[in-house]
Chains A and B, each alone.
Chain A
Amino acid sequence: MTTLSPVRPEGERPMGFADRLLSLPFVQRSDALRSFILGAWLGWQIESNWADPLLFAVYSFARPIASVMILVVMYSVITDGATQQPIFAYIYLGNALYIIVGGVLGGISWAVIDDREHYRTAKQLYTSPLVGYAYLCGRGAARLLIGAISTIIVTVFGVLLFGIPITIGSIDLPFLIASIMLGLTSLSGLGLIIGAISFQLGRNAWQAGELISGALYLFTGALFPLDILPPVLREIGLIFPATYWLEAMRRALLGTNMIGFPTFAALDNTAIAFILLIMSVGLWVSAAFVYRWSMRQAREKGVIDLETNY
């Protein structure tokens, strides 16, 4: 027999930055951190597509720009292209930011199904000493990052082409940072819950994230102010963190150029931030429970490594 080549060829750092992170002493002591970093690294390898122009074009450009252009055309058909109206900025930004919402809500359930049905690595993953939820959060984080890049592209596109009124002066930086942190924390809590549940679902969960975020369009005021909705449906929107996050982001980015609607008139920035904080805590606590429950169920039913294949 020939000798096995060394695990890591000399002079090659296959994991680059992640490798350096993994060698940090405090990371080596924590299974969860290690799992998170590995998940994020893997997610980045799978989803990032700088090297591949087609994939980059599809995910970071064509899809997001096309979906915002649908709205631009719809708007222009009716208003003869009056894009300087504040309602246009409202719709446009809502749609741009919603890419992140979709990525975070669907990212984890996507990873679950992807590992299981496509790469067929679920068996190996969940029999290894990785911390499952940390690994999944890592996968989700990679996806979030990629979503954020699209959002930035679409937003810049909007500022340049359609004069969305975001200027240095309109941005409220401290509030923007707070909104991003709190918003993403709460959304990822929800994403983890959806991801945990998708262990129970078959292949239909492929598009779960996409479909759920598609449905939430309706209630979160992404595309139109909640005030348009009949009062009963309006209430539904108020239980989702995305609703507050979108409002917060619009305020932080547009400043006084933001069009106000009665629904949120009573809430100032601090109040919105506070709501997001409460939601973050609540969702993460629930996520921990749901994840545990779902893994138990999945093991009982033997569906951790389900391959439906039909």
Chain B
Amino acid sequence: MTAFKTTSPPAAKATGATLFWRTMWARAYPRIVGSLIRERSWLFFETVLPLAATVSYVFVYQAVGAPEEYVGFVVLGGAMTAFWLNILWAMASQLYWDKEGGNLEIYVLSPGPLMAILLGMAVGGFVMTVTRAAIILIVCSLAFSVTYTISSVPLLIAIFVLTMIALYGMGMMFAAVFLASGREAWHLANLLQEPIYLASGFYFPVRALGFWVAAASSLIPLTLGMDGMRQLLFAGDATLGFLSVEVEAIILLILSVFFLAAARFMLTKLEEIGRREGRLIERRR
């Protein structure tokens, strides 16, 4: 090796929001590269296959002679599964993976905030997620000629955005919970797949579960998010939502604040426990 000479200026290290931003995109980078460029099989796995699953549910409705708007319900639900799977697999269970790979230690060690790392994971997978959702939405809408009658565009956007904020906040919180539970993370992610599809009404209006079940499910942001969007997208008799869209928007706002705060709190706690107990953060087997 040649002698060490520091010709370049001493490293200026950003803090605060800039550090957050840089950390987030840095962690997103491997995902973007990984999923989009170097592993092309993603396109198949992530779009064609879930698309087929959604279509199956459409046919089930057709087999039992359901009214038109139910096709639209399924299509929207099928598209939204993409976001749910994104937070489960790309975020909540990912800290565990990073621990196994030996990276978590370095995240913790660096000044970059863990929340930025987590958001980075989700952002990196987001392109894929959105593509997947969009393909399901577009292909199914065309194939089954779903008709949308949008009653309020601003409200629709507001509901969608709030749902996303609350959802990703929840994902960060789950990441801490999953890692802390000491279980292999995908067991938990698995537990939250079909049961949540059922409870949140991905394939039918959540009202069908009865008030109390629907109310309990509303803790999952997608429940009210989908119910609200369905009310705004399809104007039909069967569309009667669980709550009014405005109320749902307010609840989603509360959920957003709650989940982000909870995530922050739990990640801090997690790090603290990890440092105290000498596990959680590092890979030990």
Direct contact of A and B (CB under 8 A): yes
Chain B residues with CB under 8 Å of A211's CB are 45, 49-50
Complex: A32 Cα to B206 Cα, angstroms: 51
Q: Contact at B45–A55, with CB atoms within 8 Å?
A: no
Chain B residues with CB under 8 Å of A202's CB are 39, 41
Q: How far apart are B69's CB and chain A's nearest CB, in angstroms?
A: 12
Residue ID in chain B nearest A88 by CB atoms: B64
Would you give the 0/1 interface string for A213-252, flagging 1 where the beta carbon is closer than 8 Å to chain B? 0111110001111001100000000000000000000000
Complex: A216 Cα to B56 Cα, angstroms: 9
B208 close to A (CB within 8 Å): yes
Q: Contact at B63–A66, with CB atoms within 8 Å?
A: no
Q: Contact at B191–A58, with CB atoms within 8 Å?
A: yes
Chain B residues with CB under 8 Å of A310's CB are 30-31, 33-34
Q: How far apart are A209's CB and chain B's nearest CB, in angstroms?
A: 11
Chain A residues with CB under 8 Å of B25's CB are none
From A66, A70, A207, A214, contact of B52 by CB (8 A) = A214
Q: Contact at A70–B45, with CB atoms within 8 Å?
A: no
Q: Contact at B34–A91, with CB atoms within 8 Å?
A: no
A204 close to B (CB within 8 Å): yes
Q: Contact at A223–B56, with CB atoms within 8 Å?
A: yes
Chain B residues with CB under 8 Å of A216's CB are 52
Chain B residues with CB under 8 Å of A62's CB are 191, 194-195
A75 close to B (CB within 8 Å): yes
Known A73-B209, A202-B39; contact A207-B45, beta-carbon cutoff 8 A: yes
Q: Contact at B203–A66, with CB atoms within 8 Å?
A: no
Chain A residues with CB under 8 Å of B100's CB are 118
Chain A residues with CB under 8 Å of B30's CB are 310
Chain B residues with CB under 8 Å of A66's CB are 194-195, 197-199
Stretch of A76-84, A270-278, A291-299 with 4 or more beta carbons under 8 angstroms from chain B: A76-84
A71 close to B (CB within 8 Å): yes
Residue ID in chain A nearest B209 by CB atoms: A73
A67 close to B (CB within 8 Å): yes
Q: Contact at A70–B194, with CB atoms within 8 Å?
A: yes
A258 close to B (CB within 8 Å): no
Residue ID in chain A nearest B101 by CB atoms: A309
Q: Contact at A74–B194, with CB atoms within 8 Å?
A: no
A290 close to B (CB within 8 Å): no
Chain B residues with CB under 8 Å of A308's CB are 34, 39
Known A76-B208, A87-B63; contact A63-B195, beta-carbon cutoff 8 A: yes
From A54, A70, A204, A224, contact of B62 by CB (8 A) = A224
Residue ID in chain B nearest A215 by CB atoms: B52
On chain A, the number of residues with a Cβ less than 8 Å from chain B's Cβ atoms is 46
From B50, B64, B183, B194, contact of A79 by CB (8 A) = B64
Chain A residues with CB under 8 Å of B65's CB are 78
Q: Contact at A204–B187, with CB atoms within 8 Å?
A: no
B148 close to A (CB within 8 Å): no
Task: Kindly identify, within residues 58 to 104 of chain B, every residue whose CB is under 8 Å from any CB belonging to chain A.
Answer: 59-67, 70, 97, 100-101
Chain A residues with CB under 8 Å of B33's CB are 310
Complex: A310 Cα to B125 Cα, angstroms: 11
Q: Contact at A67–B187, with CB atoms within 8 Å?
A: no
Residue ID in chain A nearest B66 by CB atoms: A78
Q: Which of B56, B64, B183, B209 has the most CB of A within 10 A?
A: B64
Complex: A215 Cα to B203 Cα, angstroms: 17
From B59, B191, B198, B208, contact of A224 by CB (8 A) = B59
Chain B residues with CB under 8 Å of A159's CB are none
A208 close to B (CB within 8 Å): yes
Q: Which of B33, B50, B65, B204 has the most CB of A within 10 A?
A: B204
Q: Contact at B49–A74, with CB atoms within 8 Å?
A: no
B247 close to A (CB within 8 Å): no
From A78, A204, A223, A228, contact of B70 by CB (8 A) = A78
Chain A residues with CB under 8 Å of B66's CB are 74, 77-78
Complex: A217 Cα to B54 Cα, angstroms: 10
B193 close to A (CB within 8 Å): yes
Would you give the 0/1 interface string for A180-212, flagging 1 where the beta carbon is closer than 8 Å to chain B? 000000000000000000000111110110011
Q: Contact at B208–A77, with CB atoms within 8 Å?
A: yes
Q: How far apart are B11's CB and chain A's nearest CB, in angstroms?
A: 26
Chain B residues with CB under 8 Å of A205's CB are 41
Task: Kindly identify, within residues 163 to 200 of chain B, every residue whose CB is under 8 Å from any CB belonging to chain A.
Answer: 183, 187-188, 190-191, 193-195, 197-199
From A77, A91, A214, A228, contact of B205 by CB (8 A) = A77
Residue ID in chain B nearest A78 by CB atoms: B66
Chain A residues with CB under 8 Å of B193's CB are 63
Complex: A118 Cα to B52 Cα, angstroms: 29
From A63, A74, A201, A229, contact of B41 by CB (8 A) = A201
| Other A-B pairs beyond A70-B197, A308-B39, 6, CB < 8 Å | A74-B66, A77-B70, A78-B70, A211-B49, A214-B52, A215-B52
The chain B residues found within 8 Å of chain A, CB to CB, are 30-31, 33-34, 39, 41-42, 45-46, 48-50, 52-53, 55-57, 59-67, 70, 97, 100-101, 183, 187-188, 190-191, 193-195, 197-199, 202-205, 208-209
Mind listing 14 A-B residue pairs with CB under 8 Å? A63-B191, A70-B194, A74-B57, A77-B70, A77-B204, A91-B63, A214-B56, A216-B52, A218-B53, A224-B62, A228-B63, A308-B39, A310-B30, A310-B31
- Shortest beta-carbon contacts, A-B, top 5: A215-B52, A224-B63, A66-B194, A310-B34, A211-B49
